[in-house]
Structure formats: structure tokens, C-alpha cells
């Protein structure tokens, strides 16, 4: 029997456990329709950033003078509510870069994460490292937006996409020179989503049905990820010791948001964290 949207166990079209993702995708479709009515594809293609060759995610993630941290600018989230309502995106992302972040993650979802288009533009203007457009990508139009706004990496979330969509969106992003990060939560998602049009695979330690977090998810899946892909552990990382253990297990990258953003000074927080890894 179909359960109530609010009890955390709504079934997705793919048969998996949904909930907040179903709500986000429903709203995302409306948001995309509004955006398409306002900004044409030609306008996106004429953006100054559209001509720029994106930075290589691999190069920055594996650089010896960088930390492997993908540092996220995150104002709010469905699991935590308000995290930081005052931080300035240019200031914080510059501090992340200066502390040795390999890449920046900027949430552009408005309703659930408090993001703005302008956040990517401001982060782009202030930094010379790769930027991930962190959003719920369900339409090629969003990939064009990412390129037009100055992003270098897009996120494809296996839980909300079919294998065909993952392949097609990855191929489209690669044609634009963008890097592609696939996010999975379990072995089933991983096995059905592998495509040649991916650069990195991220294991999200957050269960999006009930918001519980467990770093063990990363350790369980790391050896199932084919070695040609960069391996990223995502969410709930708050201890420098965890980074050391994830590196030993085979991870190249570590996506961290809340741990830095919940402090009064995310720039100082990342600096102190990096000194311990």
C-alpha cells in the first residue's frame, strides 16, 4: 500500500524508498519549467562562462598540494533546517580554497537548501578551483545552466534517475566539457548506474529516507567502485581521523558541508580541520 509522503517511506518510480527526494523532484520540475520560461537555451549558451574550459576534477582531487576535501556551501538542509543564514559565499569559498580544498560544492536548490543561482556566480568569480553544482539534476537544461553559471562538475543522483538518464546526462555533460559525479547510497544503485560517461562516484553516507547517517556505508561500497572512477565519500564527516581511514580504504575525495558551515567561521573551521589530517 502506498504510504503517506510524510512518513519517510514513499515509494519512488524506480521502486526504491523515497520521501524527501520525491518532494524535491516534484518541486524541481516546477522550478525548471519556470526557469525555461525566463531564460532560453540560447541565452545560457551566450553566457561568458559557457566558453570557459572547466577545471579537471581529477587533476585537483589528486593534486599533492590539495586535501581531497570538496568543501560545501550549505545554508540549510531538510535534515538539519537552518545551518548558517549569515555566511557570505565568496568569503567562505575563498577561505575553503585557501585551506586546500580540492573543489567547492555549491548548493543551488532554493526551497530545500536555501541556495541561489548567484551563489555559483559569486563562488566562480572568487575562486580558481573546480565547482560542483550541487542540485537535483533531472533535465538537460540544468546541465546547460551549470555550464553557464561557471560550474565544472555536475551531480547525478542514482536514486532519482534511470540508468538511461544517467548515461544520457553524463554524455551530454561530457560534450560540454563538464565533469560528472554520480551519487549512490547502496550496491543496487551502484551496479545499475555505472556508465562510461562518469568521472567520479560518491557514496552518500546519509540515508535520504530517514536521514540517519553511517560512515560504514562508504567502507562497505568502496571496493565495489571500479578503479577507473574517482571515489568520493559524502556526508556526515566531522572528524579528521575519519578522513585518514577513508583514504586508507581507497577514497580520493571527501564531501563536507555541515561540519564547517555550522560554525561561526567556516573558513577557520576548515583550516583547523585540515591541520589534523
Ligand X SMILES: O=C(O)c1ccccc1NCC(=O)[C@H](O)[C@H](O)COP(=O)(O)O
Which parts of this chain interact with ligand X (CB under 6 A)?
Answer: 20, 72, 74, 77-79, 204, 206, 208, 234-237, 255-259
- Give whichever of 167 and 259 is closer to ligand X, judged by the CB atom: 259
- Give whichever of 44 and 146 is closer to ligand X, judged by the CB atom: 146
- Give whichever of 194 and 237 is closer to ligand X, judged by the CB atom: 237
Cβ neighbourhood burial of 246 (10 Å; 0-12, 13-18, 19+): buried
- Give whichever of 44 and 209 is closer to ligand X, judged by the CB atom: 209
- Give whichever of 194 and 232 is closer to ligand X, judged by the CB atom: 232
Distance CA 35, CA 116 (A): 13
Half-sphere exposure of 114 (CA within 13 A, CB side): 16
- Nearest distance, CB of residue 107 and ligand X, angstroms: 7
- Nearest distance, CB of residue 128 and ligand X, angstroms: 23
- Give whichever of 106 and 144 is closer to ligand X, judged by the CB atom: 106
Q: What is the 3-state secondary structure (H, E, C) of the chain?
A: CCCCHHHCCCECCCCCECCHHHHHHHHHHHHHHHHHHHCCHHHHHCCHHHHCCCCCHHHHHHCCCCCCEEEEECCEECCCEECCCCCCHHHHHHHHHHCCCCEEEEECCCCCCCCCHHHHHHHHHHCCCCEEEECCCCCHHHHHHHHHHCCCEEEEEHHHCCHHHHHHHHHHHHHCCCEEEEEECCHHHHHHHCCCCCCEEEEECECCCCCCECCHHHHHHHHHCCCCCEEEEECCCCCHHHHHHHHHHCCCEEEECHHHHCCCCHHHHHHHHHCCC
- Give whichever of 18 and 150 is closer to ligand X, judged by the CB atom: 18
- Nearest distance, CB of residue 277 and ligand X, angstroms: 15
- Nearest distance, CB of residue 195 and ligand X, angstroms: 20
Amino acid at each position: 500500500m502506498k504510504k503517506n509522503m510524510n512518513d519517510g517511506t514513499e515509494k519512488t518510480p524506480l521502486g526504491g524508498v523515497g520521501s524527501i527526494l520525491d518532494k524535491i523532484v516534484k518541486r524541481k520540475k516546477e522550478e525548471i519549467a519556470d526557469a525555461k520560461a525566463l531564460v532560453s537555451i540560447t541565452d545560457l549558451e551566450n553566457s561568458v562562462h559557457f566558453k570557459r574550459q572547466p577545471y579537471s576534477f581529477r587533476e585537483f582531487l589528486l593534486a599533492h598540494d590539495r586535501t581531497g576535501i570538496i568543501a560545501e556551501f550549505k545554508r540549510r538542509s531538510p535534515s538539519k533546517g537552518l545551518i548558517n543564514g549569515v555566511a557570505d559565499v565568496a568569503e567562505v569559498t575563498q577561505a575553503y580554497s585557501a585551506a586546500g580544498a580540492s573543489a567547492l560544492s555549491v548548493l543551488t536548490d532554493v526551497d530545500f537548501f536555501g541556495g541561489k543561482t548567484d551563489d555559483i556566480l559569486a563562488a566562480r568569480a572568487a575562486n580558481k578551483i573546480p565547482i560542483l553544482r550541487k542540485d537535483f539534476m533531472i533535465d538537460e537544461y540544468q546541465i546547460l545552466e551549470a555550464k553557464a553559471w561557471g560550474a565544472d562538475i555536475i551531480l547525478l543522483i542514482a536514486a532519482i534517475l534511470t540508468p538511461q538518464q544517467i548515461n544520457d546526462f553524463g554524455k551530454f555533460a561530457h560534450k560540454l566539457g563538464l565533469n560528472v559525479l554520480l551519487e549512490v547510497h547502496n550496491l543496487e544503485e551502484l551496479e545499475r548506474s555505472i556508465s562510461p560517461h562518469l568521472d567520479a562516484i560518491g557514496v552518500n553516507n546519509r540515508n535520504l529516507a530517514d536521514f540517519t547517517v553511517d560512515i560504514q556505508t562508504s567502507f562497505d561500497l568502496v571496493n565495489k567502485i571500479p578503479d577507473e572512477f574517482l571515489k568520493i565519500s559524502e556526508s556526515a564527516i566531522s572528524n579528521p581521523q575519519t578522513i585518514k581511514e577513508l583514504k586508507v580504504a581507497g577514497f580520493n575525495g571527501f564531501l563536507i558541508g555541515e561540519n564547517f558551515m555550522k560554525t561561526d567561521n567556516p573558513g577557520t573551521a576548515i583550516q583547523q580541520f585540515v591541520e589534523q589530517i
